[in-house]
Chain A
Amino acid sequence: AQSVTQLGSHVSVSEGALVLLRCNYSSSVPPYLFWYVQYPNQGLQLLLKYTSAATLVKGINGFEAEFKKSETSFHLTKPSAHMSDAAEYFCAVWRNDYKLSFGAGTTVTVRA
């Protein structure tokens, strides 16, 4: 069954520094992968998704993720963190029973 694992429940970065959030997937078939962001007291918003068209996926707010089959990874990055990036980030994989399986989430704090 398809699943994802997010490494690190909490990441703290300085404003302007690189943001790197790690996600590894487990899937016996080519996966469809997603990153969602959840700001405080809000629902989830899609950042980007991978559907096998291109391995480097660009999303909103300057985020991007690279699909690496050899490493079974789909890590999320942003070159320069902004205070507004403070939120919880979820990696998810599309399951073949029409559901999304989410990781446990990574909370990002940004230091001034």
Chain B
Amino acid sequence: GAGVSQSPSNKVTEKGKDVELRCDPISGHTALYWYRQSLGQGLEFLIYFQGNSAPDKSGLPSDRFSAERTGGSVSTLTIQRTQQEDSAVYLCASSPSSAGTTDTQYFGPGTRLTVL
């Protein structure tokens, strides 16, 4: 079946512009995660959605970052007034079960964001 998809695959923007990154999780998966992978660093958790519950935003680095998940499916990560330090690969993952389980997270191919 279809995996997690993300768009765009690459995004180049100018400093100060807003960007939107999209994630389509695997159908039926209730949990959705956003991570950031910066050059030379590991994966940094950003935000977690579980069903219709309020998202866990504890990993968002600043108030310029926000995310929403519509209808329990597609998610959009928005970065306002982008800065050069926002340049990274943004990865989305989904998993099938409810909170408290250790189900495998399935990752999308990522969006490579470059802020000039």
Q: How many A-B residue pairs have CB under 8 A?
A: 50
Q: Which residue of B lies closest to A99 (CB)?
A: B45
Tell me the residues in window 44-66 of chain B with beta carbons closer than 8 Å to chain A beta carbons: 45, 48, 50, 56, 59
Known: A94-B102, A98-B99, A99-B33. A105 touches B42 (CB 8 A): yes
Q: How far is the CA of A99 from the CA of B41 in the complex (A)?
A: 18
Q: Does B116 contact A (CB under 8 A)?
A: no
Q: How many of B's residues come within 8 Å of A, CB to CB?
A: 23
Residues from chain A with a CB closer than 8 A to the CB of B91 are 43-44
Q: How far is the CA of A99 from the CA of B45 in the complex (A)?
A: 8
Closest Cβ of chain B to A29, distance in Å, is 12
Residues from chain B with a CB closer than 8 A to the CB of A42 are 109-110
Question: Which segment, of A45-53, A65-73, A75-83, faces chain B?
Answer: A45-53
Taking a contact as CB atoms under 8 Å apart, the answer to whether A104 and B42 are in contact is yes
Closest Cβ of chain B to A43, distance in Å, is 4
B residues with a Cβ closer than 8 A to A are 4, 31, 33, 41-43, 45, 48, 50, 56, 59, 91, 93, 99-100, 102, 104-110
